[in-house]
Amino acid sequence: MRIPFPYLTFATLFLTAGASAQVAAAQGHSWQNEPSEFLGVPFFGDFKSQLPECMDTTARQPNLCWNQTPEPERYEIRGLPYIPISSGYQLFADLKDGSIGQLTLTGNASSLELVSDFLADTLGKSGSSLSRRVQLSTGASYEMKTITWQGKRIAVHFQRNESDLSRYTVVFTPTASDLKTLETSPSVDEESGT
């Protein structure tokens, strides 16, 4: 039986995780290399006061800076340091109340293994890994592997982008307790009653 394009079929699903990593994540323990920043971009604090706006729109910048994207509260970070993966990677910050709500590294999926190695070197051993095989109706199949790190303050998820299989995404987000703190913190307008 042929499945019509563009439907995806899932051939296999595997879940592997060390028992100690599951217990640590469930208890909210951080992993040994839990970061407070990535590529020089701090996860916490006022984003725009920590990084300057780019003075021009050229792709190459000598120092870290940000450019507004067409999407509200989404900024591309330029002037990134060299990392040992294929060129063409980009870093985006999605803000919530002036702080990073999500930091996303994206690039060409041809460098998945290099990115995986870089993250393992930078972040240490992951807490869990989920793999599944995705087969297109054209016959092509891909391994969709999600690697996750969960700490006290940061969660990291790395996988091939499901909406564009030619790209990968690494998403850094504050953990649920930090998101709750961000959501319940009164804004200046609420405090002043305006």
Distance CA 140, CA 127 (A): 30
- Residue 53 pLDDT greater than 70, yes or no: yes
The 10s digit of each residue's pLDDT in 137-150 is 888 887 788 999 99
Domain ranges of the chain: 26-129+150-185
- Residue 91 pLDDT greater than 90, yes or no: yes
Q: Taking residues 62-90, what's their average pLDDT?
A: 91
> What confidence category does residue 86 fall into, taking pLDDT thresholds of 50, 70 and 90?
confident
